[in-house]
Amino acid sequence: MLWGLFTFLTISLSSYGGSITYVTDPFPPYIYEKENLPQGSVTKTLPLILGIKPEEITYKFVPWKRALLEIEQGTADIIGPMLVDPKKDYLWFTQPVMAGEVSLWSSVTNKKAKDLNWLKPEDLNGLRLGFILGYFYGEDFEKYLKDPGVQTIHIKDVEQALNMLKKGHIDIFVGLDAVFVDYASKPPFQLKDFKKVGKPVFTGEYTYGISKKSPLAKQLKVINARIAELRKQKAAQ
């Protein structure tokens, strides 16, 4: 069924004016690199969403902040999955492609976070919070992270966050549960060494972001139609 959808909705690369560059940081299990090859569910669904052959997509892995810069400059075409962020006005956001829960995570040995049951961001005062620069964490949490009185530490990726949690260099990391669990379940880490802290930060729907400078921008309605059809088929399975 999916192959039929792919064949029916395929657009030639000439419609896009050339090959398509997808840029991201590693985001397993959705998209990551293994033995210099892209892996994960994105590699299976993105060609269907864009209506092109898998080999016509170039996958580029860089830190998230740099990925956003490439999208803003138009040197890459598409990024994600990501939350809709109104401040990123250089992007067109697609329809949602997945849902995800973002939580606070700590080391099980961290005494400051041991019995923490936070209700509002201000309950985290005095803790060192690690977060990935450029990620969007919702309006309330974004406002809190920008408070000059809050102890924030910019993190390159989840692997660095895990190391910093283990060494006690940060008390809390803000991360998407599925991605955190994927990283923490693989050597040299063990998931049992980490825990969620309190309630989730939020549950949100994740989309792709398309550069307004990309030829993909002209195909947004068609891309959204493909996403809707894929989600419809998935729900029917």
pLDDT per residue as tens digits for the range 157-207: 999 999 999 999 999 999 999 999 999 999 999 999 999 999 999 899 999
For residue 138, what pLDDT is reported?
Answer: 84
For residue 81, what pLDDT is reported?
Answer: 96
- Span 2-98+206-236 CATH architecture: 3-Layer(aba) Sandwich (3.40)
Q: What is the mean pLDDT of the chain?
A: 91
Instruction: For residues 88-106, give the mean pLDDT.
Output: 96
What number of other Cβ atoms are within 10 A of residue 111's Cβ? 10
For residue 5, what pLDDT is reported?
Answer: 43
Domain boundaries, the chain: 2-98+206-236, 99-203
Please tell me the distance from the alpha carbon of residue 217 to that of residue 91, in angstroms, as a whole number: 9
Which of 3-17, 39-53, 91-105 comes out lowest in average pLDDT? 3-17
Please tell me the distance from the alpha carbon of residue 236 to that of residue 190, in angstroms, as a whole number: 36
pLDDT per residue as tens digits for the range 15-44: 555 689 999 999 999 999 999 999 999 999
Please tell me the distance from the alpha carbon of residue 108 to that of residue 15, in angstroms, as a whole number: 52
For residue 16, what pLDDT is reported?
Answer: 54
- Residue 172 tokens read as 């809390």
Which residues on adjacent β-strands are paired with residue 210?
78, 92
Location of structure tokens 């309190």 = 198
Instruction: For residues 66-70, give the mean pLDDT.
Output: 97
Give Cβ neighbours of residue 188 (< 8 Å, ≥ 6 apart).
none
Is CATH 3.40.640.10 correct for 99-203? no
**Exposure letters 38-70 (e unless 16+ CB within 10 A, then b):** bbbebbebbbbbbbbeeeebebbbebbeebbbb
